[in-house]
Amino acid sequence: MTGMVKVFLVDDHSVFRSGVRAELAGKVDIVGDAGTVAEAVAGIDAVRPDVVLLDVHMPDGGGLAVLRGVSVDTVFLALSVSDAAEDVISLIRAGARGYVTKNISGPELAEAIERVHSGDAYFSPRLAGFVLDAFAGGEIVEDEPEEPQKIEDPVVDALTRRELEVLRLLARGYTYREIGQELFISVKTVETHASNILRKTQQSNRHALTRWAHSRDLD
């Protein structure tokens, strides 16, 4: 299993956990699972996984309780039947890197795990808008006072110089961490720029944004 992303699965339904294990067999290394908050916190702290697949609603507290209870540094990807905006937003605000619904396919789930592990955010297509709307009025990122680029496309023209730099690197396949290193800014700042870009371009996810950028020769 060397080289595979180490994943810990949290869900109160054992049948579902078994199904996820089967779907992800050979794609990731499932290093543990748990059906309660207490088991999850103890297990995650013990095995230190790269990514935690986290159910949102469980009888003894759910995903938020797990997020707040662990003491190790790991990445959380919410995996839930719920697509309610309040669930999505609360988990992301608490620190989850992404949120997908349980109708996701095995290959798509494996991709989501790889993406969040590499530093990207990942959402089921319908859910991205919730996050963008919630955080649109949040952190304001200041850009250097530079002359705006003269671009005929009004949507592209609405992007700041720094947002254009981030967009071009996203379109070239850079992770958020690599973009931060390239531009000497934090991953959090890159995430904020990316959210602003998605909102301004009205794209739902990074793949759509990349296609949008390629169609305008912005890569």
Measure the CA–CA gap between 215 and 208, rounded to whole angstroms: 11
What is the percent of the chain where pLDDT is above 90? 34
Name the more confident of 50 and 182: 50
Contacting residues for 192 by C-beta, under 8 A, at least 6 apart? 135, 138, 139, 141
Q: Report the length, in residues, of the chain.
A: 219
Q: Give 152: exposed, middle or buried? Use CB within 10 Å, 0-12, 13-18, 19+.
A: exposed
pLDDT at position 51, please? 96
> What is the architecture of the domain spanning 154-215?
Orthogonal Bundle (1.10)
Q: What is the DSSP string of 157-216?
A: HTS-HHHHHHHHHHHTT--HHHHHHHHT--HHHHHHHHHHHHHHHT-SSHHHHHHHHHHT
Given pLDDT bands bounded at 50, 70 and 90, which one contains residue 23? very high
Q: Which fold has domain 6-122?
A: Rossmann fold (3.40.50)
Name the more confident of 36 and 209: 36
**Model confidence over 78-90: pLDDT tens digits?**
998 887 878 888 8
The mean per-residue pLDDT over the stretch 180-195 comes to: 85
Phi, psi (deg, nearest 5) at residue 122: -145, 130
The mean per-residue pLDDT over the stretch 192-216 comes to: 85
Task: Compute how many other C-beta atoms are within 10 angstroms of the C-beta atom of residue 105.
Answer: 9
**Model confidence over 50-104: pLDDT tens digits?**
999 999 888 777 888 999 899 999 999 999 888 787 888 888 888 898 899 888 8
pLDDT at position 129, please? 65
Which residues of the chain are in CATH 1.10.10.10 domains?
Answer: 154-215
Does pTM top 0.95 for this prediction? no
Which residues of the chain are in CATH 3.40.50.2300 domains?
Answer: 6-122
Which letter does DSSP use for residue 102 in this model?
T
Residue type, 92: I
For the cut 70, the answer to whether the pLDDT of residue 214 exceeds it is yes
